[in-house]
Structure formats: structure tokens, C-alpha cells
Structure 1
């Protein structure tokens, strides 16, 4: 069984909430609540970072493409914001509360909840590919 989903959203935090909730609702019957929650959390973290820090234009779109089967969920988030490779970002020291104030928890969650994360910048677009 293989399913595909393609979603687009404006770079807006309300849109992040709406899209992540839609993804969760669609995935629950296919992969169960736990896996759907993890996907929702990763989408929220990645898209929130794009909206808040990606210097993305208001009239741009964030594209999310999901491919779902019984073993894996693979998705790609594409945006036209400032080039940013989250794999090069140093992970925060979770024992240092002062360091946590500087951010990085979202990237930490994405990298630790995923089986594989890859990044590519091409044709003016960031492409974050995640395998859960």
C-alpha cells in the first residue's frame, strides 16, 4: 500500500497549524496515531522555522510532498527562502538551559525523530527530505 499527498501553504504560522493538522488527520488511519503525531511534529518544526527564519516572501509557497507506505513515511518540504542547511547547525546542549533559549530544539527534534534527513539547495529552493 502506498499513498502520496501533496500540500501547499502560504508562509504563515496559522497555515502551519492547519496543514500539520490536516496531515495528522490523513495519516492516522494509515499509520496510526503515534507515527502521525511524529510526522505532524516534524512538519510543525520545519515549517515554523521556514516561516520565522527563512526570509520567505509572503506571496511564496511552501510545498510538502509525502509518500506513505506501511514501513516508512518520506516527505520533502520545499521553500524559496534563504538557503539554510539544518544538518550543518550544531545541536543544542539539552542540559544547558541558557543555550536552549537560543533555539535549535526544532532541528534537534527533526534530526532525532527521523531515520534519515537530507538537504539540498537547487534552482533557488531549499529541499529538506525526511524519512521517518
Structure 2
């Protein structure tokens, strides 16, 4: 599929997809002077967007992808990079737990406001 179709299917702008390609996070082949993306790049692009929304840098995402490939390959893992992977992923997991806690607090506050608004809306008259 061309980059425009990938953009439509993922909701990610063409410029952003080009950037991800430049950063070697997405891959393509050349077909008739166009970039041709395979279907598996849809999931990959969406995964990149998810990680970006969680605060992962491009460097972090590249590290996640490299670690995944190394673990799948099995031959590129040694004690030195295994310890680095563990440290990295533990730190990211901790940061995500903190984000989840903040999201839970924000969600509770919004729920309380919504409940109060619904009570007010159910009354014929109300005072502010």
C-alpha cells in the first residue's frame, strides 16, 4: 500500500509516517516509484503511535524494537545487554504505573464532576 493509504488506515499523517520511515521504525519497498508498505506496517505504525502517546521517545521506541528483535533472535542477547534491557524495561514499566495512577485520579475527578452535572441536569431548577 502507498503511504497515503497507510495514513488513512492508521490516522497517522503522511509527514509523521515519513519521519518514522526516516528513523527506520517503519520499512517499505520501492514499487513503481512509490513507497510500498506491507500490511504488517499498519500494526507497527499504530504501536509506534501508542508508545509516543505514552511518552516514549523515538530512541526509546527504537530500543524497544531492537530488544524485541534480539529476544526473538535469541543469539544477540548476552548478560551485558540483558541487564540493560531489564533496567530499561523496569524503568519504563515504573513510569507507566505512575501515569496510570495519575490517569485514575483524573478519571475519578471527571466522574465526580459528571455525576454532579447529571444531578443538576435532572432538577428543574438549580443554583450555582
TM-score range, shorter chain: under 0.3
Query: What is the TM-score when the length of structure 2 is the normalising length?
Result: 0.27
Report the structure, 1 or 2, having the larger helix content: 2
Query: What is the TM-score when the length of structure 1 is the normalising length?
Result: 0.26
Higher RCO (C-alpha under 8 Å, 6+ residues apart): 1
